[in-house]
Amino acid sequence: MNTSSTRTATSLFLRAAWGENTPQAPLWLMRQAGRYLPEYLAIKARSSFWEMVRTPDLAAEITLQPLRRFPLDAAILFSDIMTPLPAMGVQIEFNPGPVVAEPLRRAAQIEALRLPETREIAPYVAEAIRLVRRELAGKPVALIGFAGAPLTLATYLVQGSGSKDYEDFRAFLRQEPALAHRLLHKLTELTIRYLRMQIEAGAEAIQLFDSWAGLHDQEVYRSFGLPYNQAVFSALAGLGVPRIYLAVGASHLYPLLAELPCEVVSVDWRTPLDQVRQFLPHTLQGNLDPAVLLAPPAVITQEAQKVLKSGLGGAHIFNLGHGVIRTTPPEHVAHLVEVVHQFNRHNKHNKESA
C-alpha cells in the first residue's frame, strides 16, 4: 500500500463519505476559503478573481488558508463552478458573482459552444490540486474537487447573471426544451471530463454543486436535472473517490434525489437530518444554518449539537447548509470546529437526550 492509500483509508472524512458511522462527525465548511478571512482579502486586494483561480500558487494558497487556522477534516479546492466554461468559448466576468457577456438563448449560440479536450479545460486546476496534495501529504485532511451541476451552470449561462428567481431561465426551459437539452448534454460531457481530470490530479472526493436545483418542481427536475446528474455520477463510478451532491432549498426533491448514484447528499438547514434520512440512503452532509455562525458561541454550541444529534441515525459529515457568510467572525468558526470534534456520536446518552 502506498502512503496516499494508507491515508485515504484512515481519513475520518473519507470513512464517513463511504458510509461509515464514525465516532466523530468529520467537518468542513462550504466557502471555508473566502471573504470572511483577512488573509483571503489580502490576496484579493492585489489580484482579480480570475487571477486567483488561474494561478496555481494562489489557488493552492487560498485553499490551504482555512486549514492553517482550523483543524478541518477536508480542504476544498479554491476555484469556482464557472471555471471550466471559458474553454467552451463563453466569456465570464465576476462582479462579485458570475456575469456572462452574452447570455445563451439562441440555437446558434448553443451549437457554437466548443467541447474542449480534457487537457484544454483548465490545466491550472490540475496543477493547483497537485500543489495542495503535496502540502497535505501525511495529514488526515482530504482534498475535495468540485464542479457545477449541468442544470446550475445552464442557469447562469441562460440567465446571464445572478438573480433572485432566475425567471428567464425557467421560461427558457419550457419555451425551448430541445435547446435546453442540447445545452445540458454539452455541459454534462464537459463536467465529466473536468471532474475526471481533477480526480487524476489528486482530488480525493468530488462535489457536484447544484445550487439552483431547488428552483424547479419535480417534473422539471426529473427532465432537466436528474438524468444529467446521474450521467455525471455514473461516469465517475469505480474511480475510488466518493461523490457528493448538493442542492439548496430542494427538500421537495428529496424523493427523486434517492435515485442519485452518489455516496453523499448535502442538505440545507430547512429540514432536520433525521427527517431527510427517511428519503435518502446516502451519507448526509450538513446542515447548520450559516447564519448561526453570526450568533455568540453559546448559541453556536446549542445549534451545532442539535444538528449533531439529528445526524446520529447514520453516516454524517458536518457542514453548513450553504456557504460561510462574509461577515462571519473567524473565531466563531474555530468554536464550531471544537464543538463538533468534541461530540462523541457513539455515546448512548446522546440518543436518549436527542
Residues that bind ligand CP3 in the complex, under the rule CB under 6 A: 30-35, 44, 49, 76, 78, 80-81, 94, 96-98, 146, 162, 209, 211, 323
Name the residue nearer to ligand CP3 (CB basis): 11 or 211: 211
CB of 226 to ligand CP3, least distance (A): 19
Q: Choose between 183 and 333: whose C-beta lies nearer to ligand CP3.
A: 333
Which spans in 278-346 are helix H? 297-310, 330-342
2 upstream amide cis, omega within 30 of 0: no
**Least gap, CB of 270 to ligand CP3 (angstroms):** 15
Tell me the three-class secondary structure of 168-234, residue by residue: HHHHHHHHCHHHHHHHHHHHHHHHHHHHHHHHHHCCCEEEEEECCHHHCCHHHHHHHCHHHHHHHHH
Closest CA to 240 of 274, 211, 206: 206
What residue ranges in the chain does DSSP mark as E strands? 74-76, 92-94, 98-100, 142-148, 205-210, 243-247, 264-266, 283-288, 316-320
Nearer to ligand CP3, 29 or 236 (CB): 29
How far apart (Å, rounded) are the C-alpha atoms in residues 56 and 60?
6
Minimum CB separation of residue 82 from ligand CP3 in Å reads: 6
Q: Which residues pair with 244 in a beta bridge?
A: 207, 264
Question: Smallest gap, in angstroms, from Cβ of residue 348 to ligand CP3?
Answer: 35
> Of 78 and 166, which has the nearer Cβ to ligand CP3?
78
- Minimal CB distance residue for ligand CP3: 211
Q: Min. distance of Cβ 50 from ligand CP3 in angstroms? A: 10
Closer residue to ligand CP3 (CB): 30 or 312: 30
